[in-house]
Amino acid sequence: MLRGSLGILLVILVATASYADPRAEAKAQVAFGIAAAQHGLWREATYRFERAVAIDASYAFAYNNLAVACEQQGLIEKARDAYEKALALAPDSELIRQNYELFKETHARSTGGVSR
Amino acid sequence: MRAALAACLVSIASGWLAGCAGMYPVAVTTRVPAELNVTPYSRLLVAGFVGGGIDDVDTNAETVRLLRSQLRAARSLTIISADAMPITRATLADPAFWRRVGEEYHNPLVLTGIVVLSSETHTDLGYGEREFFDDEGRRRIEMNRTAVEIETRTLTARLLYIDGQTGAIIHARVFREETSHAASQTVPALSSYFELMARLVPEVLGTVSDHTVVGPRTLLR
C-alpha cells in the first residue's frame, strides 16, 4: 500500500514536472512542501522547499516557505537568510513582509533587538 | 504503521491537488530562549521595588507578590520567599547593598527596580447622542461632538536584574504601558494596575525562562 501511494505521488510529480520549465518544477516541489507542512511534516516540507530554491533560485515564494519551515524547526539564522532572499526577490510582497515582521518580532529578544 | 503512513501520503497528495489558491496559513511554534542567561543561578529573589504614584496601590508589595507568583508558575528558578524590601533609588545603584543581600540569600539572581502607577486627566472630543423631535413630532437622534473627560493611567517600570554575588546590574528593561477610560467611570486603581501588569509579566517571564510562541505565517505558492 505504501509503495502504491509513493508510486502515485511520484507519477503526480513527474507528470507535473516533466513538461515543465524550472519554475513549474519548483512550483511542484513547493506545492508538495505546503501539503507536507499542513500535515505537520516540517522536515519533508523543508526538503521540498530547499529543492524548489535549488531548481529555481529566483522563486521568492519558495524562499518564503523555506524561511517559515526553518523557523518552525528553530533554524533561526537560516530562516532569516531565506526571508531576506525572499524579500530581495519580491520587495513588494506584503505577505512575505508580514511573515518577516512576525519572525523579527518573535526573535527580537534572542538577537538583542528589544530595547533594554 | 505503513497503512497510516500511506494514508498520510495520499492525504498530502489530495491536499496538494486541491490546493489551488496561493496562500496557505499555518501556525509556527517557536521555542524562544530566555533573554537572560540564568544558568549560573538556581534561585531568584524578587527583592522589592521603588513604588510611587497613585496612593491606592502599594506598587512595591503588589509587584513583589504578583511577580513571585507568576515566576513560580514558570518553574525556571526557585523563587525565594521573603518580605518585600523597602527599596530606595539610592539602594538600586549600590552594589555593596546588593552584595549583602546576595550573601544573605546565597547569591541568587535579584529582581528589583522602580514601578510607578500614575494618573492624569485630560479633555478630549468624543461623540454623544442628542435626542430631539422634528417639526412633524417624530423622535430623532443625532450624533454630536462633545467634550469628554478622559483619565489615563500609566504604569512606568524599570526592572533591574542584579547578580547577587557581585551586586552588579546585569540586565535592565524599561516599560511604559497605559490605559484610558472616561473619568465618569469608576475604575479602581488596582484594576488598572493589574491590567497594565498583565502586559508586562510575559516580558519578565521571557527574560528568565524559555518559552514557546505560536504565531501565524503564510506559505505561498
Whether B20 shows a pLDDT value over 50: the answer reads no
Listed range (A2-6, A85-89, B167-171) with the worst mean pLDDT? A2-6
Please report the pLDDT score of residue A70 as a whole number.
Answer: 96
A53: region left, alpha or beta (phi > 0 left; psi from -120 to 50 alpha): alpha
The set of residues, in sequence order, having a beta carbon less than 8 Å from that of B99 and lying 6+ positions away, is: B164, B165, B166, B167
- How many interface pairs between A and B have CB atoms less than 8 angstroms apart? 105
Separation between Cα atoms, residue A54 and residue A47, nearest integer Å: 11
The CATH topology of domain B26-220 is: Rossmann fold (3.40.50)
Please report the pLDDT score of residue A53 as a whole number.
Answer: 98
The answer to whether B178 and B155 have CB atoms below 8 angstroms apart is yes
Distances (CA, A) of B30 to A74, A102, B67, B221: 6, 12, 24, 23
Domains of chain A, residue spans: 2-111
pLDDT tens-digit map of A55-109: 999 999 999 999 999 999 989 999 999 999 999 999 999 999 999 999 998 887 5
Query: Which residues in chain B have their CB less than 8 angstroms from residue A71's CB?
Result: 28, 30, 217
B8:A39 CB<8 A = yes
pLDDT range class, residue B75, cuts 50, 70, 90: confident
A99:B218 CB<8 A = yes
Distances (CA, A) of A6 to A1, A25, A33, A46, B1: 9, 18, 15, 19, 15
Please report the pLDDT score of residue B21 as a whole number.
Answer: 52
Q: Which CATH number fits domain A2-111: 1.50.10.10, 1.25.40.10, 3.30.750.24, 1.10.10.10?
A: 1.25.40.10
The sign of the dihedral angle between the CA atoms of A79, A80, A81, A85 is positive
- Nearest CB to B15; choose among A35, A109, A115: A35
Listed range (B64-78, B125-139, B181-195) with the worst mean pLDDT? B125-139
Q: Which three cell numbers stand for residue B161?
A: 536584574
Please report the pLDDT score of residue A114 as a whole number.
Answer: 34
Best of A3, A5, A64, A94 to substitute, by most chain B Cβ atoms within 10 angstroms, is A5
Separation between Cα atoms, residue A73 and residue A110, nearest integer Å: 16
Whether B26 shows a pLDDT value over 90: the answer reads yes
Query: Which residues in chain B have their CB less than 8 angstroms from residue A68's CB?
Result: 26, 28, 217-219
Between residues B75 and A90, the one the model is more confident about: A90
The answer to whether B29 and A40 have CB atoms below 8 angstroms apart is no
Query: Which residues in chain B have their CB less than 8 angstroms from residue A109's CB?
Result: 32, 35, 206
Please report the pLDDT score of residue A16 as a whole number.
Answer: 53
Domains of chain B, residue spans: 26-220
